[in-house]
Structure 1
Amino acid sequence: MFENLRHYFYDYFISLDFSESSATYLNMIVLLSILVFFIFLSDFITRKILLQAFSNFAGKSKTNFDDLLITHKAPRNIAHLVPLVITLKLFPIVFYDFPSFEVPIEKLIKIYGVVLFIWILRSVLKTFESYFKTIPRLKDKPIDSYIQVVMLFVWIIGVAVSFVVITDISIIKFFTTLGAASAILLLIFKDTILGFVASIQVAVNDTIRIGDWITMEKYGADGDVIEINLSTVQVQNFDKTITNIPTYALISDAFKNWRGMSDSGGRRIKRALIIRATSVKYLTSDDIEKLKDIQLITDYVNKRQSDIESFNSSHNIDKSVLINGRNLTNLGVFRKYIQAYIENHSAINKDMTIMTRQLAPSPEGIPLEIYAFSSDKRWENYEYIISDIFDHMLAAIPYFDLEIFEYDFKFKA
């Protein structure tokens, strides 16, 4: 059928007294113009039909997979196959009188077909990537890395096929030659290969997930992981800047993942006040009577005073000197007060460790540290809870005749 068109316009131009050479070229130009017209027309019609069909199907379907196919232009790319088939079928007719053009043009069309196939596959893979991210149990998985790995192999195969089409060598010979050049390829794609290996290890070992809060001082990263792909891990820091970390750095360098804290029942509070050592003293009877008015420690002070007096009396301790025997100290009672205050605080997780401890004295003074876990792990609320506790501690210190250490700067006039 189509063979009859080879010289259709040639005969017409000959009848108009054109030379054979001119008629041959004009015949080719007209046929090429008609072919280009049909290519664009078929592409336009196919796109309209496919997009309409996909849109109708997506509107009736309960899943969003087909909607994502449209978003990532899969129907549009598939539509390009129809003009490609028309071109492969008709271009030999157009260039029938120019066989020297036919071979290179055929190779170009086949390479375009390879690229189009890769592009269609990319649209489908991107659709799967977006679809998997909508599944709750896969949201924190490095889906991007898996898709990029598949696309890497697709591109390698595509380049190999294109090279075979251009050079007319066998695919086996191509990969044999590729093996000989593997050292150079390893050097060129070093970061990609390292990222590929790192992505697999990160996924298998569950080292990091999207949404994890990580800290990596070497790269200035302190925030939430928003993307994991073959080459980089993107971290959105708390100041809203973005840090890109090489994926392979996650297996070669140290970093802190706060997921354990997020998954636990609380966020750790570990902070200390520095008490001036010279303000620590034994409590007199009058001091003890005053402290009994503090409700949180009334029972504790009464019990401790009774036990101490009983011990000192049974051992005939001379209490004319305060240091003799057993005694209460203002720091010890304050530590007990803070312990009771923390245990009764509504924002503290009572099922986790709660401790008020004295650390080793330093040149500045005596650190009194709170070690507990807040029930609320959100950063802003966590900081509010800490501030609330230490506001109270700072205001309570004078009631125990204690002082906070402060540097005393003296300036000469």
Structure 2
Amino acid sequence: MCPEVFEAVTVNPGLADLYRDLHSHPELGFQETRTSSIVANRLSELGYEVTTGVGKTGVVAVLRNGDGPTALLRADMDALPVKEDTGLPYASTVTATDDNGKLVPVDHACGHDLHTSCLLGAAEMLSADRASWAGTLMLVFQPAEELGAGAQAMVDDGLFDRFPTPDVVLGQHVAPLPAGKIAGHAGPSYAASDSLRVRLIGKGAHGSMPEASIDPVVLAAETVLRLQTIISREIPSTATAVLTVGSIHAGDAANVIPGEAELQLNIRSYDARVRERILSGVSRIVSGEAATAGSPEQPTITEIERFPIVVNDAEALGKTLGVFSDWLGAENVLDPGAGSGSEDVGVLATSCGAPLAYWLLGGSDPSLFTTGDMTDPALLTVPSNHSPHYAPVIEPTLTIGVTALVAAARTWLPAA
């Protein structure tokens, strides 16, 4: 293994400017046209074979460097419908029209601008130093991770038919850990997530005449309460799962009983059997409560988005984190345990049958922490991903992120 693996790379000073530019110009899922154009142009200048429009707005770049295995390095590019409140000079003021035709503020509140910048920085380093590795680099800049749809869209668009089949899938996600730390967990690492929309049908009436109604507000309230018993009474106490009703809407006036109500709920789970049991319970309870209320129509349950469980291959992750430990020191490589967040990077690995090594990249100001490990109380107070206050510190996050990707690539594509 090359000794350069264990040394921080020298990042192009212009990479920080690129990051600030991407942060100022966020784009929603499947709308990443400006971002993908910047990515494609830079990779073309570096000598990669570049294909755009994969999975609508995704970019794939391939660099062949002699005989050897193929490593896929992935970064996601999309942003969130969040109004940024960081006060940074490069904060986003962008708005865009979402899939429902609504004008929304847009913010890189999850850090995908950093992911994109880090992978472009690594692409530059690996292109410039081809003596340090051998094989094929396959860089995937993915759209619409926040929608849980981008990875599958790229696969459906022939990702593994049109391009090399990788021997490993590698990637990282910035997190509210101290910058300078990396964390990874073997096995089920990130939860499956199912978001559902439930439409409950009642019968509207004047608020003074409830006897003429079938009140969907009461029906919705009963349904919400009954749904909570799925976790507490229907799955094993040793299983980990969450069911959250995050939205409830019915009516627009105090003196009118509306004709219908809508719930939006989210389920997190780590086991396929537990997931199926929860989904079955949701269907049974929704239908049962509607029948009890005398609903004139069957309720409907519609999937909003779905993320599969992310499973890190123990051997692949151990091999990768071992390199990081040699470089950063074992005290700076943590095991965060299984996280309740969700990701679609696992789709890339399962679709091609390659092992996955996916890690967290610390991105928060280290001065805010005391112990700097997974017991640190600051983890509950520092701004986290999806918060309007979230923005990673640019350094050392950018340099550590670029170095991690370069080190991982060289580990899996060793020079002869």
- Measured against the shorter chain, the TM-score band is under 0.3
Give the TM-score, by structure 2 length: 0.25
Work out which structure has the larger RCO, using CA pairs closer than 8 Å and 6 or more positions apart in sequence: 2
More strand by share: 2
Q: Whose helix fraction is larger, Structure 1's or Structure 2's? A: 1
| Rg comparison, structure with higher value | 1
